[in-house]
Structure 1
Amino acid sequence: MNHFPPVKTMKTVIVAGCAAAVLWGNPARAAFQEPVKNSCIQCHRGLPDKRLSLPVTLWAASVHAEVGNTCDGCHGGDPSDSSKLAMDKRHKFYLGPKDEEVTGFCGKCHQELAGYFKQSAHWATGTQNCIQCHGTHTVQRISMEIIDQEKCGTCHDYEPAAKLKSLLTALHDWFGQSQKKIEGIKGLPTQPLSREMDRVWNQLRQVRMISHTFDPSRYEKKAEEVEALMLKVDSEIARLSGMEKERKWLGFIFVALFAALSIATYFYNRITQKVE
């Protein structure tokens, strides 16, 4: 279930092939095309040492490759330099973070998520960081499958994580169902609803972000706000759907009356002709 994109964003994602499902498919390696020559990729993919070449293979099937974030996006360096100077410290090359540095490393791009994670017990105890859930070179688009017994039930009871997964799944399913209903409304202005759904989507993203605190009281409170917005949206969907049905019935009645009038006129003319 690829759950996660706003009305406008969802359409753009689908058309652009950014996946959606987004999400949930496995990005095809064949679909990846290097936008420019990248010496890091060119060199490492052919190295016999798997420790150095495998990261390129893994990265090529990742969401980072899909969106164009190449090696230098995380490791720095100069990918346009085909010599070993590409890894020179003058180019801010960084081999990789230590465990305690991972969150700050990923937070260079994902500042808000890293900020929430730093408010969690995982951060406070130093037992977990981003890669335990998201991986390193294999980072994929987010799906509900990231929450599972193996990841979340090894160190502690899985029940809290299972509840979070259930909550997020329900919200995303609700969002998707409402979106389909809106798309099914014909002949009536749905732009205000689409704008409201964009707002809902932004709030739903916040639920996912806040969930990185692993504090149920915080993400459940935000989820309640999303539910309240969705109820308003569904109320408006019901109103427009009712209007659509009324129009269809009025159209049917009009056609039926027109047909009856046509038949009556036809027989009236025939009777008149016989009398004459």
Structure 2
Amino acid sequence: MVDIDRVGGVLMRIKLVLILILVFSSTALADYRETFEKEFVNKPWVGSKVVEEGVCVDCHTSDVMKPDYLGIPQEWKMSIHYENKVSCHDCHGGNPSDSAVSCGTPHSGFVGIPKYKEVPKMCGKCHIGILKQFNDSKHGKALMTSGRGPNCVTCHGSHKIQKANMNIINKVRCTRCHSYKRAKIMKQALFMTEKRISDINHSIRQLRSSGASTEKAKKMLFRTEAGFRTLFHSVDVSLVKGRTAGFSRKLDVIEGMIADIYKEIRFRKNFSAFLFLLFASLAISAYFIQKNNKN
């Protein structure tokens, strides 16, 4: 004969263990999210505060500024530089918080409008890999030899700089200097890789919003995308075709990492649901056993 009291006691112990598992798993998940946000989201190195007010903006919105330059602050605020906390002084030098300096003074290494041939050098202070590709390209060589080739501003603009994308390569822009034929071939070779990078970025943003740790995948994608961007500036069709396959293999790895994260999330959800159902079943069983025992 089954000892009802003993069975009830065992079930109560199982219930207690399950409660402890649920509590500790919830605590661990909370600690995981807190650590993730502390280490990767709220870390100081994710970017310093953009200096919106200062000598640069004050001067370029004042009555003494030339009309052609009044719109620069607003253009900058619509740029990828502004989104990534790149301020005026990061490119032009100077101290934007020094209110004692007048707008027209070449203060603290201030650089106004660089010479046409010097633009790539200015941009290359940050975009080092791209500068090398540009200098070795037909565009860069034409600029250095004749001074009449395109520079960074020719395609990207000066202050309202947008994130690099496939739309930069277009018939209107390219035919200002030459035919669109070779540029079109290169754009077609780059298109699928660009699409995959965009899709992976979207997946990473979704995972991060749910609290998942995507830092490893994000860093690998950043390096892959940075390398991929250099191909744009080589303007070498054969090089683009040859290296695109290599970038595709790297994207395969990143997509695999993201798929593993999704699997882990699904497992956690399913395991939590299993524990809940098991706990509920045991609770119901214990209730009926105790009820029968009383009867």
Q: TM-score, normalised by structure 1?
A: 0.64
Report the CA distance between 1:83 and its aligned residue: 8.7
Report the CA distance between 1:266 and its aligned residue: 2.7
Letter in 2 for 1:116: Q
User: In structure 2, do the counterparts of structure 1 residues 196 and 95 end up closer, same or farther at CA, with 3 Å as the change threshold?
Assistant: closer
Does the CA-based 8 Å contact 2:92-2:110 persist in structure 1? no
Provide Cα deviations, 1:10-45, integer angstroms capped at 9, x if missing partner. 9879x8698xxxxxxxxxxxx97333x35x963884
2:216 is aligned with 1:195? yes
Letter in 2 for 1:238: A
Does the CA-based 8 Å contact 1:97-1:105 persist in structure 2? no
1:55 corresponds to which residue? 69
User: In structure 2, do the counterparts of structure 1 residues 74 and 247 end up closer, same or farther at CA, with 3 Å as the change threshold?
Assistant: closer
User: In structure 2, do the counterparts of structure 1 residues 198 and 149 end up closer, same or farther at CA, with 3 Å as the change threshold?
Assistant: same
Question: Alignment partner for residue 34 of structure 1, among 36, 50, 53?
Answer: 53
Aligned residues: 241
1:270 corresponds to which residue? 291
What is the alpha-carbon distance in structure 1 between the residues aligned to residue 139 and residue 219 of structure 2? Answer: 31
State the SS of the aligned residue for 1:261: helix
Does the CA-based 8 Å contact 2:193-2:247 persist in structure 1? no
User: In structure 2, do the counterparts of structure 1 residues 225 and 185 end up closer, same or farther at CA, with 3 Å as the change threshold?
Assistant: farther
What is the alpha-carbon distance in structure 2 between the residues aligned to residue 43 and residue 185 of structure 1? Answer: 42
2:169 is aligned with 1:147? yes
Report the CA distance between 1:151 and its aligned residue: 0.9
2:7 corresponds to which residue? none
1:82 corresponds to which residue? 102
What is the alpha-carbon distance in structure 2 between the residues aligned to residue 270 and residue 260 of structure 1? Answer: 15
- Higher-Rg structure is 2
> Structure 2 stretches of 5 or more lacking a match?
1-38, 144-148
Question: Alignment partner for residue 97 of structure 1, among 115, 119, 123?
Answer: 115
Report the CA distance between 1:131 and its aligned residue: 1.9
Report the aligned-residue RMSD.
4.4
Letter in 1 for 2:171: Q
What is the alpha-carbon distance in structure 2 between the residues aligned to residue 123 and residue 34 of structure 1? Answer: 36
State the SS of the aligned residue for 1:82: coil
Provide Cα deviations, 1:238-264, integer angstroms capped at 9, x if missing partner. 334334434433433333333333333
> By percentage of residues, which structure has more helix?
2
Question: Alignment partner for residue 278 of structure 2, among 236, 257, 263?
Answer: 257
Letter in 2 for 1:148: N
Does the CA-based 8 Å contact 1:119-1:213 persist in structure 2? yes
User: In structure 2, do the counterparts of structure 1 residues 74 and 60 end up closer, same or farther at CA, with 3 Å as the change threshold?
Assistant: farther
Report the CA distance between 1:201 and its aligned residue: 0.9
Letter in 2 for 1:55: Y
2:198 is aligned with 1:173? yes
Does the CA-based 8 Å contact 1:121-1:214 persist in structure 2? yes
1:210 corresponds to which residue? 231
Report the CA distance between 1:109 and its aligned residue: 5.3
Letter in 2 for 1:268: I
